[in-house]
């Protein structure tokens, strides 16, 4: 397959965060090596026809160029998949032999962010990353209302997976978005909000790019403040109800998370609840990383294959760190964490996330099943973080159909076929356990669910597929999740 000049330029322009794994073919090379893109898992290397990475991602000329690219892809019969950081782990931002698009915001090339203090929203270009947003909001004393725990991700991608964060009490990101503009397969540009094109608002929010290209959006913002943590150690069996109770009783809590022990003796039995409330003082200018972060990354990675390191980390997190400092930090500082803080150098392994959303009283039955299934697998569980997510009554693929406690699990997996098969089998078991406990599972990770599990977790999936075929009859917008879970 020939590489177009634009794809060569795009490839030379720099690698995506997940990594472009192919080498640029030498000019004389024949036939050309196909352009391969992968995502952060390193398990989805996929040939693409071209990677469109425009220099400008705002303004009318860009919209015209986007329209022309969509038209060209449709004429060639190629699927289109937009991505940002490509940290979804199952090719949700990739389409085989399709046109990949990535919209990097370069602040010098145009106005990409506008703030409306009165309405407490900001308008932002789709491809902006959260680190750019934080950097722009921080000097104004402002902060995003909801975003993920790391700042590398794209803002429109955050809407497309309908991510949640650890600021509380909030539903998923989409529930804090006032409107967005969507370019449809036809090239028409429409505004979607709860009152305008409301159906597409609910479909594209958490719709994994299957309904069109989001070109900009208006998420909510709030004040940046200094926050002070409070730590509470408790049996994991009590954590779900306690988290919900704490947040219901105390409206001063602005951010909250839980943690579960992963060493063999305390495995998913001991927990820590951390709640952040406002502290007096003016936040300093936001920073990221630093020596402390490097140290905590070393401690985190040392856990692979070492129960001793897992015990040491639990001690550091539950005893040493709370004693060592007040932990006071600005909200923006807490949100301004790169994924690289977790990354390890061993290329034979990859980090695989899972996430399950449980009603508060469903967390313990779910954990009981995990205590059996995970140690029987070949997977190394390095971290479990708990979050609180309010009900989402808007998106068609809602994962929080009531208030939910989210259990985010980070596994270190070897990149071998046996480990991949083992991961798939274990995931099926954990999904069954979550469903039996009244919960759901999150879609941006490995595509290891059975289709009956997808249907049980997402009861409106048939509606999503029917409306997809209505709004995009040529199936221009496709990715591997569509192929695996939704296409018949």
Residues of this chain that bind ligand FAD (CB under 6 A): 40, 81-88, 92-93, 126, 148-150, 153-154, 156-157, 160-161, 163-165, 208-209, 213-214, 339, 342, 353, 444, 479
Smallest separation (angstroms) from ligand FAD to the CB of 10: 15
Q: 3-state DSSP call for residue 456?
A: helix
Which of 26, 28, 27, 34 is CA-nearest to residue 2? 34
The conformational region for residue 281 under phi > 0 = left, psi -120 to 50 = alpha, else beta, is left
Beta bridge partners of 259: 272, 385
Task: Locate the DSSP E strands across 236-379.
Answer: 255-260, 270-278, 329-330, 349-358
H/E stretch holding 440 reads strand 440-441
Shortest Å, Cβ 217 to ligand FAD: 9
Return the number of the residue (92 or 377) whose C-beta is nearest ligand FAD.
92
Minimum distance of ligand FAD from residue 212's CB (angstroms): 7
Q: Of the candidates 415, 411, 303, 402, which has an alpha carbon nearest to the alpha carbon of residue 358?
A: 402
How far apart are the C-alpha atoms of 75 and 445, rounded to whole Å?
31
Burial class for 196, CB neighbours closer than 10 Å (0-12, 13-18, 19+): exposed
410 near 351, Cβ under 8 Å?
Answer: yes
Q: CA nearest 2: which of 37, 23, 33, 24?
A: 33
Residue 314 or 442 with smaller CB distance to ligand FAD: 442
Instruction: Rank residues 84 and 237 by Cβ distance to ligand FAD and give the closer one.
Output: 84
- The Cα–Cα gap between 41 and 44 comes to 7
Q: Give the residue with the Cβ less far from ligand FAD, 323 or 347.
A: 347
Whole-number minimum distance, CB 45 to ligand FAD, in Å?
A: 15
Taking the complex as a whole, the smallest distance from the CB of residue 207 to ligand FAD amounts, in Å, to 8
Instruction: Print burial letters for 24-46: b (CB count within 10 Å at least 16), e (below 16).
Output: ebeeeeeeeeebbbbbbbbbbbb
Cβ contacts of 470 within 8 Å, gap of 6 or more? none
Closer to ligand FAD by Cβ: residue 154 or 229: 154
Torsion of CA 452, 447, 382, 384, to 10 degrees: -50
Measured from the CB atom, the residue of 319 and 487 that comes closer to ligand FAD is 487
Give the nearest distance from C-beta 201 to ligand FAD in angstroms. 13
State in angstroms the smallest separation of the CB of 91 from ligand FAD: 9
- Say how far apart CA 66 and CA 215 lie, in whole Å: 10
Count the residues in the chain.
Answer: 488
**What is the nearest approach in angstroms of ligand FAD to the Cβ of residue 265?**
27
Query: Least CB distance from residue 457 to ligand FAD, whole Å?
Result: 15
- Nearest approach in angstroms of CB 80 to ligand FAD is 9
In this structure, how many other beta carbons lie within 10 angstroms of the beta carbon of residue 415?
A: 14
Q: How far is the CB of 25 from ligand FAD (least distance, A)?
A: 25
Q: Which residues contact 273 (CB under 8 A, 6 or more apart)?
A: 231, 232, 234, 239, 242, 243, 246, 256, 257, 258
CA distances from residue 200 to 62, 139, 192, 196, 395 in whole angstroms, order as listed = 23, 35, 6, 9, 9
- Nearer CB in complex with ligand FAD: 10/353: 353
Nearer to ligand FAD, 314 or 399 (CB): 399
Give min distance, CB of 268 to ligand FAD, in A.
20
- Residue 242 or 446: which CB sits closer to ligand FAD? 446
Query: Based on CB atoms, which residue is closest to ligand FAD, 343 or 372?
Result: 343
Q: Name the residue nearer to ligand FAD (CB basis): 147 or 373.
A: 147
Both tokens of residue 81? 């998949």
Q: Which residue has the tokens 């495995």?
A: 267
State which residue, 297 or 311, has the beta carbon closest to ligand FAD: 297
């Amino acid at each position: 397959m020939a590489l177009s000049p634009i794809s060569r330029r795009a490839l030379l322009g720099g690698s995506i965060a997940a990594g472009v794994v192919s080498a640029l073919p030498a000019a004389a090379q024949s036939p050309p090596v196909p352009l391969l893109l992968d995502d952060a898992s390193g398990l989805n290397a996929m040939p693409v026809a071209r990677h469109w990475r425009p220099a400008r991602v705002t303004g009318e000329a860009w919209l015209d160029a986007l329209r022309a690219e969509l038209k060209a892809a449709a004429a060639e019969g190629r699927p289109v998949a937009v991505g940002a950081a490509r940290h979804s782990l199952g090719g949700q931002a990739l389409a085989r032999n399709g046109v990949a698009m990535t919209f990097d915001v370069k602040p010098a090339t145009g106005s990409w962010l506008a703030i409306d203090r009165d309405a407490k929203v900001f308008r932002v270009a789709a491809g902006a990353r959260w680190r750019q947003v934080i950097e722009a909001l921080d000097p104004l004393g402002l902060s995003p209302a909801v975003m993920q725990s790391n700042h590398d991700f794209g803002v429109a991608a955050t809407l497309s997976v309908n991510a949640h964060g650890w600021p509380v009490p909030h539903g998923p990101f989409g529930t804090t978005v006032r409107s967005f503009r969507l370019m449809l397969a036809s090239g028409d540009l429409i505004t979607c909000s709860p009152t305008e094109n409301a159906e597409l608002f609910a479909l594209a929010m958490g719709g994994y790019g299957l309904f069109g290209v989001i070109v900009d959006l208006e998420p909510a913002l709030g004040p940046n403040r200094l926050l002070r943590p409070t730590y509470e150690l408790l049996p994991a069996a009590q954590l779900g109800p306690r988290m919900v109770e704490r947040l219901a009783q105390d409206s001063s809590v602005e951010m909250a998370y839980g943690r579960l022990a992963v060493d063999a003796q305390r495995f998913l039995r001991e927990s820590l609840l951390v709640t952040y409330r406002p502290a007096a003082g003016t936040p300093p200018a936001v920073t990221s990383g630093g020596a402390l972060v490097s140290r905590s990354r070393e401690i985190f990675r040392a856990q692979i294959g070492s129960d001793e390191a897992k015990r040491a980390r639990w001690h550091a997190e539950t005893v040493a760190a709370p004693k060592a400092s007040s932990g006071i930090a600005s909200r923006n500082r807490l949100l301004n964490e790169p994924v690289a803080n977790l990354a390890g150098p061993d290329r034979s392994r990859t980090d695989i996330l899972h996430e399950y959303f449980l009603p508060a009283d469903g967390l313990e039955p779910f954990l009981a099943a995990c205590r059996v299934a995970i140690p029987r697998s070949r997977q190394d569980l390095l971290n479990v973080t708990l979050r609180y997510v309010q009900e989402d009554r808007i998106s068609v693929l809602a994962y929080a159909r009531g208030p939910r406690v989210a259990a985010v699990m980070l596994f270190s997996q070897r990149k071998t076929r046996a480990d991949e098969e083992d991961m798939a089998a274990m995931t099926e078991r954990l999904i069954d356990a979550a469903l039996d406990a009244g919960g759901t599972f999150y879609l941006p990770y490995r595509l290891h669910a059975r289709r009956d599990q997808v249907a049980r977790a997402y009861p409106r999936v048939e509606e999503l597929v029917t409306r997809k075929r209505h709004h995009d009859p040529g199936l221009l917008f496709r990715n591997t999740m569509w192929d695996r879970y939704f296409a018949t």
